[in-house]
Structure 1
């Protein structure tokens, strides 16, 4: 990356934030760039939000669509072996976008036809079809969650923390727009006025949703393809089932099979593909997991302690005193967890694990526990997905001297 290119991109973006028209900025962009690396965009956004120019995360998020349109067609393609094979996480991600676009087109066709006089006898069927397509489209939640829980942590490890933060904020805005459209759908009757209200809400949602598809495929995936290793893609393929898929065919579990020392076959919902690579060497534990040692009021081996934690009727998460997500237990499979956890989240800063809309609440909770003002902060809610009433406790963990060592979160089905 060349610093002068990043500086020019920053200046263009600042001009936008200071009121320049997209057309004038586009012209200047075209003068300076034949192709731009997605990594340069990531670096530019990071430096912009970290600078003293007064541009905030919210500012960048509000102009996210303008940024994407300016970069459209200019971002250099990145070719990576295996990425276009059926079953590769990139291939699956793109196939989902195709399926989601198709659902949007079907909904638009139904809206277009539902008020035509000649379709009056079929209005009830069309309304049912509309609700079915909206249910299918609602599976974009799985698509977004996989992106946020599997792609973003790895990006952050490589220093690309600005795009995830901005994109997650936009994702949450899109989720809200979909809920608004869903509310209008529930109010639908045979009234043309009601259908018009739903149509407006749906188009507001779909405009932002389709813009996000552009950002995902023109910017996000280019960053991933430039930076992720084969090990990264393998971990994503292995952990994706926990979060589910959008519309495309699913299977219950993802299986990896090691055929040779440097080859793996991956079975995923869209098919099977092979990656040839040199795996990272695994760290060998120096501790004997079977040897017992003093532990609390008795003695346990590492293996026994692990089994006990995994057999507790609780989902346990530990964030250490440096706000780093350090541990979670395997009480149930990941796809059955109330708060889904996968290995890629380990080592992630707690602020980066939460969507921007709840970040202030998370910080407040941790400050209460860290300061000693509270020892526990409870919450409860009804999980519609699991059909459970859930009780969550955030508890301060302190050592024998009373010094704060982290936060223990435990989740119960009550």
Structure 2
């Protein structure tokens, strides 16, 4: 149990624990290759391997959005706070190393890469000696089986995705890929009356899916009850977030700010909070809106995030359609 990495065969192909361990092996192999390259002699190869190592972000995101919510369900909230903070520390080290690499600061490239390696090596030890063994004790088999779709949305470090777990005997068709046309009724029996007009639930789902904005709804009890599943989300989300307390859905360093927003919204002192950040080369606008009923009773908060990079760059006017 304590030597997981040398006992991969105890897990079926594609089992989430096995995938985490295989990614840890890949991380060590990539660093071994990286440190055998002189960045002055073969900069492009060094840069390419470093970019592969940066895919560890998917490893982090799956833990934060998939594994941690299940651990919280069984009462273990420590990883959602302590290990998430450690992830953020490593993210900062990776960013620091990237700056040195992209500026070809050869005096510091290796040193900063070693800093990333040391922190990731420590994280791997914690994962394999504490996090994953405890998770195996706490989680039930059905929990591991539920993770695949959410993991798939976030992605893995590998070029080719791991085998689905559990393996299906027949081809699985995700609802978003189900294009079978169904007969629609034009009566109002299957439609809901909104303030302006009538929509089927399918139409509502499609509208949310294709909106070029990330939307997350937190109810009056601070529980995440909805997010829209677009193809190009600004921030990763997966099904594990539904029903989760919102304070566990943000990095520890920003939790106090989120709680402050909720406090002001609930007290009726504020209705809107917005921020804008540079994120992975994009300019992201983040807005929070208090949701209230007709009696002004607080019903929750909507978080909206949008990549407005191209919008900010618009100039002049465009009055004609030009698709050529």
TM-score, normalised relative to structure 2:
0.78
Alignment check: 8 A CA contact 2:3 2:129 kept: no
Per the alignment, in what secondary structure is the counterpart of residue 259 of structure 1?
A: coil
Distance of 1:81 and 1:228 partners within structure 2: 18
Q: 1:304 to 1:162 in 2, by over 3 A?
A: same
Q: Which has the higher helix share?
A: 1
Deviations along 1:152-205, one digit per CA (max 9) or x if unpaired, are 01111111111331111111111112222222323435xxxx43x333323232
Asked if residue 249 in structure 1 is aligned to residue 148 in structure 2, the reply is: no
Per the alignment, in what secondary structure is the counterpart of residue 370 of structure 1?
A: helix
Alignment check: 8 A CA contact 2:151 2:238 kept: no
Alignment check: 8 A CA contact 1:241 1:253 kept: no
Per the alignment, in what secondary structure is the counterpart of residue 302 of structure 2?
A: strand
After superposition, residues 29-40 of structure 1 pair within 5 angstroms as none
Which residue is equivalent to 1:50?
A: none
Asked if residue 227 in structure 1 is aligned to residue 227 in structure 2, the reply is: no
| Cα drift, residue 124 of structure 1 | 4.2
Asked if residue 368 in structure 1 is aligned to residue 295 in structure 2, the reply is: no
Which residue is equivalent to 1:88?
A: 15
Q: 1:398 to 1:256 in 2, by over 3 A?
A: same
Q: 1:201 to 1:87 in 2, by over 3 A?
A: same
- Which among 303, 319, 325 is matched to residue 224 of structure 2? 325
Asked if residue 99 in structure 1 is aligned to residue 30 in structure 2, the reply is: no
Deviations along 1:125-159, one digit per CA (max 9) or x if unpaired, are 43332222211111111111111111001111111
Distance of 1:290 and 1:225 partners within structure 2: 47
How many matched pairs?
292
Deviations along 1:63-108, one digit per CA (max 9) or x if unpaired, are xxxxxxxxxx9x597xx99852222221111111111011112222
Distance of 2:205 and 2:87 partners within structure 1: 36
After superposition, residues 151-300 of structure 1 pair within 5 angstroms as 151-188=67-104, 194-195=106-107, 197-246=108-157, 248-251=158-161, 258-259=168-169, 291-300=190-199
| Cα drift, residue 311 of structure 1 | 4.4
Asked if residue 108 in structure 1 is aligned to residue 108 in structure 2, the reply is: no
Alignment check: 8 A CA contact 2:154 2:238 kept: no
Distance of 1:312 and 1:404 partners within structure 2: 25
Deviations along 1:189-225, one digit per CA (max 9) or x if unpaired, are 5xxxx43x33332323222210100111111111221
Which residue is equivalent to 1:37?
A: none
Which residue is equivalent to 2:273?
A: 377
Per the alignment, in what secondary structure is the counterpart of residue 323 of structure 1?
A: coil
Which residue is equivalent to 1:403?
A: 297
Which residue is equivalent to 1:315?
A: 214
Alignment check: 8 A CA contact 1:144 1:171 kept: yes
Alignment check: 8 A CA contact 2:14 2:165 kept: no
| Cα drift, residue 382 of structure 1 | 4.5
Distance of 1:249 and 1:109 partners within structure 2: 22
TM-score, normalised relative to structure 1:
0.63
After superposition, residues 334-349 of structure 1 pair within 5 angstroms as 336-349=232-245
Distance of 2:71 and 2:215 partners within structure 1: 25
Question: Structure 1 unaligned runs (5+)?
Answer: 1-72, 115-122, 266-288
Alignment check: 8 A CA contact 2:289 2:301 kept: yes
Q: Give the root-mean-square deviation of aligned CA atoms.
A: 3.2
Alignment check: 8 A CA contact 1:239 1:254 kept: no
Q: 1:204 to 1:389 in 2, by over 3 A?
A: closer
Alignment check: 8 A CA contact 1:314 1:410 kept: yes
